[in-house]
């Protein structure tokens, strides 16, 4: 393995992941999901840290960036064995493949009972309604597509779209 090439790739994946994760989450929170964290019926507060509990929220915010850096590194490690193949593909095939892997394996089909995942639909309490499961979809799809597009461009910047 070419360590220098991996480290450059990993740094790019980390940057793209952290930025797209932050902006997709911030946008979705303001436009779609704030109702699940705050207000009259903050249903996500039953299993997540929320701004309603400042001490718990502060801990989540302290570890937000380090956690996403680690996540980006893990994504890079998972994608790197396919680096040469991905680089040979056209831009759109590469972008949609990366986005698809992220969205499908990293979210919908993950073995995590979270809103929007298959296991979430099965195992979460009925308070987490189908509406909540569907409302989180634009955030993960948007972030996955942005991540795929960004990485596809960085992997072959001189390639025509």
For the stretch 32-83, pLDDT in tens is: 999 999 989 999 999 999 988 999 999 999 999 999 999 999 999 999 999 9
Tell me 106's DSSP state: I
Q: Is residue 160 part of a domain?
A: no
The pLDDT score that the predictor gives to residue 85 is 97
Residue 68 belongs to some domain of the structure: yes
Query: How far, in Å, CA of 30 to CA of 138, rounded?
Result: 13
Q: What is the mean pLDDT of the chain?
A: 96
**52 compared with 8, residue with greater pLDDT:** 8
Does residue 29 lie in a domain region? yes
Instruction: Report the chain's terminal Cα–Cα distance, integer Å.
Output: 29
**132 in a structural domain:** yes
If one compares 157 and 147, the residue with the highest pLDDT of the two is 147
Q: Is residue 125 part of a domain?
A: yes
List of residues 6+ apart from 117 with CB closer than 8 A: 107, 108, 109, 110
161 inside domain: no
% pLDDT > 70, the chain: 99
User: Is residue 157 pLDDT above 90, yes or no?
Assistant: no
- Asked whether residue 69 is assigned to any structural domain, the reply reads yes
In a domain, 56, yes or no: yes
Which pLDDT value is given to residue 160? 67
Residue 129 CB neighbours (<10 A): 14
CB 139 within 8 A of CB 103: no
Range of the domain at 51: 3-155
Once rounded to an integer, what is the mean pLDDT over residues 116-137?
A: 97
Residue 159 pLDDT > 80: no
Q: Ranked by mean pLDDT, which of 43-52, 105-114, 151-160 comes out on top?
A: 105-114
Q: How many domains does the chain have?
A: 1
């Amino acid at each position: 393995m070419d360590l220098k090439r991996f480290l450059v790739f990993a740094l790019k994946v980390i940057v793209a992941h952290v930025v797209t994760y932050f902006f997709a989450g911030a946008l979705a929170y303001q436009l779609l999901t704030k109702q699940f964290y705050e207000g009259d019926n903050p249903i996500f507060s039953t299993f997540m840290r929320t701004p309603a509990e400042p001490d718990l929220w502060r801990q989540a915010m302290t570890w937000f960036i380090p956690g996403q850096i680690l996540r980006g590194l893990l994504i890079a490690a998972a994608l790197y064995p396919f680096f040469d193949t991905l680089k040979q593909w056209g831009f759109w095939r590469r972008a949609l493949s990366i986005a698809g892997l992220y969205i499908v394996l990293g979210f919908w089909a993950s073995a995590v009972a979270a809103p929007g995942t298959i296991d979430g639909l099965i195992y979460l309490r009925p308070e987490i309604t189908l509406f909540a499961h569907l409302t989180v979809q634009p955030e993960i799809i948007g972030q996955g597509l942005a991540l795929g597009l960004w990485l596809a461009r960085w992997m072959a910047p001189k390639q025509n779209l």
